[in-house]
Amino acid sequence: MFRRIFSGKVQGYFIRQFSVCELPQELQDIQKTCRNFANRELKPVAAALDANSRFPAEQMKNLADLGLMRVTVDTEYGGSNLNMLALSLVVEELSSGCGATGSIVSIHNCLYADMLNRLGTKQQKELFFGKYPRETIGVFALSESDAGSDVAALDTMAVKEGDCWILNGTKAWVTSAAEAKSGIVFATVDSELKHKGITAFLLDFDQAAGLKVGNPEDKLGIRASSTCSLYLENVHIPVKNVLGPIGGGFRIAMEQLDRARIGIASQALGIAQAALETAVQYAKQRKAFGQSLLELSPVRMRIAEMAVRIESARLLVRKAACEIDRNGRATKACSMAKWIASETATFAAHNCQQILGGMGYVKNMPAERYYRDARITEIYGGVTDVQKAVIAELTIGEMNA
């Protein structure tokens, strides 16, 4: 749908005319479509998806029909050819309906489809985008149990034999691994080289004898999204499926994680906005001491603080997305956006629970789910403490320049 309406126009148009306070009409239309989708197709089922840890397969199909499973991918590979700002709006709106669905869409778009589109060869894109329908999920398998924040310590090995690389090791925490058909897997070709040995490989799950997907983790939140280990035992990957340069995997992973932080921050914004709206709606109709909760000053203060934090975070997220769209890199802005938006989501969900009182603690209302879903945004894609370290280093570096 978006391919037809926008046909790539947003890229250039947006850079010239963007104001953080007023989005161009094309982006407002995307926002509206996604908001309607969230209200119609996600909100009514989010609690059941969560309770049953059920992947939203039908919704993925409908999102793919709207062009939202390959948001930044070129049209020739079935994508919508939109930019990171558009993707951010998509993820924010979907996450306000269901944080887990927002997570699935965000990780798939930001860490698989966008990366393959940016860095893949024509042959790789034809192969991986061409083989599967647009709703098919791809994964990004970088982390290992002993290599999370310190990802350069990963020890999945890749050894070259003839026209194949043979991979052995275990990747941990892989989002959507239970449903995926393909992915980008990181391994080292020489552990002595530390991060300079890390290389990215495109993996077609159907062609990967020796690949085993572990059982989904039993998680606190985003329970409709699967998170599994990938066990690789002598998995043969053709040489033509190396993504980017040999030994260049660490650099391209870090670049891609900047972009993914916009997705995660947007997911956080959506959850925070949903928490604010739930709190206001509930407070309006709930009576205490002969008046609506909305009349009580402490409740109003909580609402004010939620609103201002959400708006501040949103401005930082949009700024980071704009910088990426304009310059390609925006490490500091992306870390700032992720830190603030993720803490805002937890803050808003916490305050929503407080305003709902006992109803905030039970599953009849979505507040407790918002809280459980919000927490992941402070952890995956780089924990908050690492974002702070990145921001400090870059800020101090700029001042010394």
Ligand X SMILES: Cc1cc2nc3c(=O)[nH]c(=O)nc-3n(C[C@H](O)[C@H](O)[C@H](O)COP(=O)(O)OP(=O)(O)OC[C@H]3O[C@@H](n4cnc5c(N)ncnc54)[C@H](O)[C@@H]3O)c2cc1C
Q: Which residues are near ligand X by CB under 6 A?
A: 107, 140-143, 148-149, 173-175, 219, 227, 376, 379-383, 385-386, 389
Assign 3-state DSSP to the chain and report helix, strand, coil percentages, each to 5. Answer: 60, 15, 25
Q: Work out the angle at residue 375's Cα, subtended by the Cα atoms of residues 373 and 376, and round it to the nearest 5 degrees.
A: 80
Closest approach of ligand X to the CB of residue 106, in Å:
10
Q: Which is nearer to ligand X, 217 or 295 (CB)?
A: 217
Q: Which is nearer to ligand X, 142 or 269 (CB)?
A: 142
In this structure, the number of other CB atoms found within 10 A of the CB of residue 123 comes to: 10
Strand ranges (E), 178-286: 182-188, 198-204, 211-213, 227-238, 242-243
Strands 198-204 and 227-238: unpaired
Q: Which is nearer to ligand X, 23 or 187 (CB)?
A: 187
Alpha helices in 98-139 (DSSP H): 99-107, 114-119, 122-131
Q: Is the CB of residue 69 less than 8 Å from the CB of residue 77?
A: no
Question: In angstroms, rounded to a whole number, what is the distance separating the alpha carbons of residues 276 and 310?
Answer: 9
Tokens of 204: 């077609």
Q: Which is nearer to ligand X, 184 or 275 (CB)?
A: 184
Closest approach of ligand X to the CB of residue 389, in Å:
5
Question: In angstroms, rounded to a whole number, what is the distance separating the alpha carbons of residues 104 and 69?
Answer: 10
Q: Is the CB of residue 195 less than 8 Å from the CB of residue 250?
A: yes
Q: Which is nearer to ligand X, 27 or 243 (CB)?
A: 243
Closest approach of ligand X to the CB of residue 354, in Å:
25
CA distance readout (Å), 339 to 42, 110, 259: 26, 17, 14
Position of tokens 């997570």?
A: 103
Q: Is the CB of residue 11 less than 8 Å from the CB of residue 73?
A: no
Closest approach of ligand X to the CB of residue 295, in Å:
40
Q: Which is nearer to ligand X, 90 or 376 (CB)?
A: 376
In this structure, the number of other CB atoms found within 10 A of the CB of residue 370 comes to: 30
Closest approach of ligand X to the CB of residue 12, in Å:
32
Closest approach of ligand X to the CB of residue 374, in Å:
13
Closest approach of ligand X to the CB of residue 370, in Å:
16
Closest approach of ligand X to the CB of residue 162, in Å:
29
CA distance readout (Å), 64 to 70, 80, 321: 8, 10, 22
Tokens of 312: 């501040």
Q: How far is CA 377 from the centre of its chain?
A: 9
Q: Which is nearer to ligand X, 26 or 217 (CB)?
A: 217
Q: Which is nearer to ligand X, 338 or 350 (CB)?
A: 338
Q: Which is nearer to ligand X, 157 or 296 (CB)?
A: 157
Closest approach of ligand X to the CB of residue 228, in Å:
10
Nearest to 325 by CA among 15, 40, 2, 110: 15
Residue of minimal CB distance from ligand X?
A: 148
Q: Which is nearer to ligand X, 222 or 355 (CB)?
A: 222
Contacts of 7 (CB under 8 A, 6+ apart): 75, 81
Closest approach of ligand X to the CB of residue 349, in Å:
17
Tokens of 192: 């002595």
